Every structure is written in structure tokens, then in C-alpha cells.
Amino acid sequence: MTIHGIGGVAVPLQPEGTPMSSKDQNTWRDPDEIARRVRDGSLTRRNLLTLFGVSAASVALASTMGTAAAATRRHDYVIVGAGSAGCTLAARLLADSGASVLLIEAGGTNDLPVVRDFTKSAMAAAPNSGLVWPYESMPQRELLNVRQSFVCGKLEGGSSSVNGMVWVLGNPADYDRWAAQGATGWDYASVRPSLEALSGPIKPSDELTRRNLLSQATVNAAVDLGYTFNPDYNGATQFGVSYTQLNVVDRIRQDAFTSFLVPYLTDPRLTIMTGAEVARLTFDRRNAIDGVVINAGGRQFTVRAEREVILSTGTVNTPRLLQLSGIGAARDLERLGIPVVADLSGVGANLHDHLISVALRRLRTPEPATHITSMDVSVFTGRGRVPGTPRYQGQIYYLAEGGYPPFFGNSQAVGVMNLRPTSRGYVKLRSADPAVPPIIQPNFLRTKEDLETQLDGYRLAIELINAKGLRDWMIDDDAIPGPEVNTRKELIQAVRTYSQADFHAVGTCRMGTDRHAVVDPQLRVHGVSGLRLASAAIMPSITSGNTNAPSMMIGDRCGRLVLGNA
């Protein structure tokens, strides 16, 4: 019996000379068992692929030789970016067709303890971790000119490998609103199969957050304040106070790569290149996509797709890559000397993100070692701009020793986000050199409405952190904001000081049918052929909650659209 390795190399099922227990022999015959053991950590992907004698895509193709070999092969679909959307897209194409897929990722393996151990997410997401694009925004005028972190994952699984693992599907009305904004076929009824397809590979649960006594006290305190307890904000209603659901099983992060692609790692139709950064796309005279130019190991390669190229490169890197390839506002491209392929002014526009404003107090005593979660309790409340959606999401989180700058440790924080900001910014090239980071201007709090909404939200955060039911847990002296904050002016200053970008950036290559839309509802880029986009970049507007699950949904739905199965 043989199994096909990545890249089509046939290898014996039982690796030569490797003694195997009968349990292991059974494992190798059952792909589901292999997937289960890789997920639960008893088998690392590297070991699996080494055992099979196959050079793991994620290991060997990081080498120049591997990249060169993969570049010469023919692939039906070329997907750039192995993040939340790229992985679900690849999995959908492989599951529902016989097509071959080349997945190109700039970063490296995510088969690392710091990724797998869900308690280490802050380390993985740190700008100097080597696992992220260490992007920062321009100084934010309304936030005391402080630059905001716009890091995003640069490794297998993309941002799903470094994020906070809070699992929120979004509100059904978010998707109905997309359809009303011109994204025909993206209403809730249409996207629902793709949202539902995520559970199975992903098993979200509140099992870990619900067991902390501090989480329980916080939920009770919120109920005393008038919030309704909601056992499942991804269920019948989002509204109320809930234990936060995490995509974590057995203390292991469920990232997009491991959850969706492990079952295909030994499938010859899937080739994965890591350590391979796409520098630009090339087009023929009729604006049909021609090549995908990759920098890897100090060399340059060009790959071509038999059918289509799909960019799943996320909210910052997608407009960056399009602009480097001559797709964007002609004025801006000409200024940088980039030949214009398609004049699309919407590329990079419509950048928006949730801003989180944080109130916190120091805990009387550090939490016991059994308290292993940070993102513990969620509140959805208020009447949102879109009928049926909440206005605010509150994230109540525990900060252990050390804290998270500028917030101190051994404290509990209540962060509140305005779920529907109206301020819009942009991502633009600073230079035609792909090595230079782009300009990221989110324009936080630039509309009067956003400031007023954020202020009202902050009042809710202050009320909850000071709730009667939490008094026994907190000490009086250390608090943000402190007792000196009373007037409206002081509150505004506190919001400007204690607010941060919440890593939910979306919208820079908006889907729609108007002239500023970048992709049509089939996710095809206007003005060129053979190129689609699938990532958080295509969202017309941000969803009510954290954006990982909606991004995964976009990948899955893109796969269905490509195959004509949507």
C-alpha cells in the first residue's frame, strides 16, 4: 500500500526501516486518526512527514530547491497566503473537486509550541516574535498621536496562528447588510453553509473560560447590572453576557492550517510553499493574469495557474500586493513609477477596524494557577447602527503577571468596542520596493459619531469594572481610569489614552458593484481576469465581533464560488 506525498511523490505507507507498534500501524492507515493525532499534539506534522519519507511541504519547500521544483509543476489553482481564508479556501477546493492547489506562504511552519500552546498567544503576536508582519499604523491624531499595532500573522495559518482565539461568527444581520451594500449572494442565508462548515474542523467551546471563579463573578456582576445571561452568543441571539468561546481544544490552538489542511497534507494535489513571498503579479496585454512572481531563498521564481490565482493575503497585504502589481488608483501608482494595469481607486480604501477602550483594576490577589484563560467573558449590548445588531462588544479579560502595555498585570480589564465605526482609512504604498512596509492610516475616531459612541461604550466598561459584585475581587487604589476622571473632557482624554486597535482590520478591497468596489460578488477583481481575492480585505463592512471566523467563512465560500457550487 502506498500513500502519496506532497508534490506527488509516492512513498511506502510504512516507512522503510521504521519499527511500528500495531497501534501506529493502524494510525497510518486511517487519515482521520492521523489528523486527530496531529491536532492533539501526539504526532507533530514534521514527524508525520519525516516518517513517510516525504519532504514535508512546509519543511522542504521552504528550501530554494523545493520552491524551484514546485514552481515548474502545473497547478490548477494558485492561492497566495495560507491564513484563515487561504486555508479554508484550499480545503474547499480539494474537498469538492479533483483540482490541484499550490498554496504559497511568506512565513514558515506553525508547528511550534508557541503557536500550539494557547496560553502563549501574546508571545506569538509580539512584533518581534518573527511570526508576524510587524506593521504599525501612522500616528493617530485622535489617540494622542500614538501609532497602533497592525501586526498580522506571517506563518502557516496566518493570523489564526497568533490571534486571541475568541470565536464569534458575527450577527446574521451583518451579512444581510453586506448583500444590501451590493454584495449580492452574501446575505446570511447564503453564507450560512460556509459558516456552518467551520464547526467540525473547529470545535469552539467556553469550557475553559466558564470554569474560573473570576469569570463566574464577572458574569454574575453583569447580570446584576441588568444584562441577560446568554449561554451561546453564536446561537439564537448575540445579546447578553456570556462566557467567551475559544477555538481551543485540549489547551491547543485550533488554527486554520492545522484544522483544515492537515487531512490533505499527504494528498498529492496539494503543494505548499513556505518562506515564499509573492512580490507581484504579472498580466498579459489583455489584462489576464499571467504569473505570480515569488521571492524565496534569495532567488526569484514565477509560477502560473492553469485556472485561477486567488489572493488570500489579508487586509494590509492584499492592497499592497495589488498596488505593487499595478492595480490601484492610477494617480498613486504613477507617482511611484508603477505601470498601471487597472485603475481601481478602491484598492486600499475603506480600511476600518474595531477600536477597544480599556478600563481595568488590579486584583486583590493573583488568580490561581487553574485560571489559564485570558479572554474570559463577552458582552454584546446596545442598539447597533444596523438593525438587529449590538452596538458594543465588551471583552473582559484577565491580565496575569506582567500585563500588556500600557496595562499592568494581576488585573482584570473590560475593553469595549464600537462594533460599527464610521471612520475610514487606507493602505497605500510608500515605495515601489516590496520590502518597504506600506502606509497604514486607519483614521481612528475621526468622525464625531465614533467619538460619542466610544465614550458611551467606555462608560459601560467603567460601570462594569466597578460593579458591586466585583468589589471583593479588586483593590481600590489601582484603576484605569483613575478617580481623577469625572468630567466629559477628562473622559475623552481617558478614551484617547486607553484605546487601542483591536486587530480586526477589514475592508481594503471591498466587494460590491459600485465603481469603488474592488471585487464583484464572485470575488473577481474588476478590470482584470483570472484573479480573485478571498480574505478579510473583501468585507464591505466589519462584522459584529472578532473577525477570524468570518474570514474563514469567506475562504470557504470563495471555494464554492470558484467551483460553481455556491
Ligand X SMILES: Cc1cc2nc3c(=O)[nH]c(=O)nc-3n(C[C@H](O)[C@H](O)[C@H](O)COP(=O)(O)OP(=O)(O)OC[C@H]3O[C@@H](n4cnc5c(N)ncnc54)[C@H](O)[C@@H]3O)c2cc1C
Residue numbers at the binding site for ligand X (CB under 6 A): 80-86, 104-107, 125, 151-154, 158-160, 162-166, 168, 277-278, 312-314, 317, 321, 503-504, 535-536, 546-549, 551
Angstrom CA distances, 462 to 93, 115, 366, 412, 495, stand at 47, 33, 21, 12, 11
Q: Which helix (H) or strand (E) holds 316?
A: helix 314-324
Q: How far is the CB of 378 from ligand X (least distance, A)?
A: 11
Pairing of strands 101-104, 270-273: parallel
Q: Which residues of 475-511 are buried (b: 16+ CB within 10 A; e: fewer)?
A: eeeebbbeeebeeeeebbebbbbbbbbbbbbbbbbbb
Alpha carbon 492 to its chain's center: 30
Helices (H), 62-187: 64-72, 84-96, 113-116, 121-125, 172-180
In the complex, the smallest distance separating the C-beta of residue 298 from ligand X, rounded to whole angstroms, is 16
The cell numbers describing 396, all together, are 473582559
Judged by beta carbon, residue 14 or residue 88, the one nearer ligand X is 88
Cβ proximity to ligand X: between 89 and 344 the closer is 89
Neighbours of 66 (CB within 10 A): 25
Catalytic-role residue among 75, 352, 354, 504 = 504
DSSP 270: E
All three cell numbers of 137: 499604523
Residue 128, class by beta-carbon neighbours within 10 Å (0-12 exposed, 13-18 middle, 19+ buried)? Answer: exposed
Min dist. Cβ of residue 33 to ligand X (A): 28
For residue 479, list its beta bridge partners: 361
Residues in CB range of 79: below 8 A, 6 or more apart:
86, 89, 90, 101, 102, 103, 104, 309, 310, 312
Residue number with CB closer to ligand X (100 or 313): 313
Q: Which long-range contacts (CB under 8 A, 24 or more apart) does 392-397 make?
A: 392/416, 392/417, 392/418, 392/419, 392/457, 392/460, 393/168, 393/354, 393/417, 393/419, 393/544, 393/545, 394/460, 394/461, 394/464, 395/166, 395/244, 395/356, 396/215, 396/218, 396/464
Nearer to ligand X, 27 or 234 (CB): 234
Residue nearest to ligand X (CB): 83
Strands (E), 168-276: 240-243, 248-249, 252-253, 270-273
564: left (phi over 0), alpha (psi -120 to 50) or beta: left
489 Cβ contact list (under 8 Å, min separation 6): none
Q: Which is nearer to ligand X, 410 or 551 (CB)?
A: 551
Three cell numbers written together for 222: 453583569
**152 contacts 135 by C-beta, under 8 angstroms:** yes
504 in catalytic set? yes
When the beta carbons of 323 and 443 are compared against ligand X, the nearer one is: 323
Minimum CB distance to ligand X, residue 137 (Å)? 13
Q: How far is the CB of 547 from ligand X (least distance, A)?
A: 3
Of the two residues 404 and 408, which places its CB atom closer to ligand X in the complex? 404
Q: Which is nearer to ligand X, 28 or 308 (CB)?
A: 308
**CA-wise closest residue to 452 among 497, 415, 488:** 488
* Non-local CB neighbours of 240 within 8 Å, separated by 6+ positions: 227, 228, 229, 230, 233, 379, 380, 381
Shortest CB 426 distance to ligand X, Å: 17
| H, E, C per residue of 344-400 | CCCCCCCEECCEEEEEEEEECCCCCCCCCCCEEEEEEECCCCCCCCCCEEEEEEEEC
314/421 with CB nearer ligand X: 314
Q: Give whichever of 102 and 467 is closer to ligand X, judged by the CB atom.
A: 102
- Decide: 314 and 152 in contact? Cβ < 8 Å: yes
CA distance 79 to 276: 12
Least separation in angstroms between CB 18 and ligand X: 32
Which active-site residues does the annotation give? 504
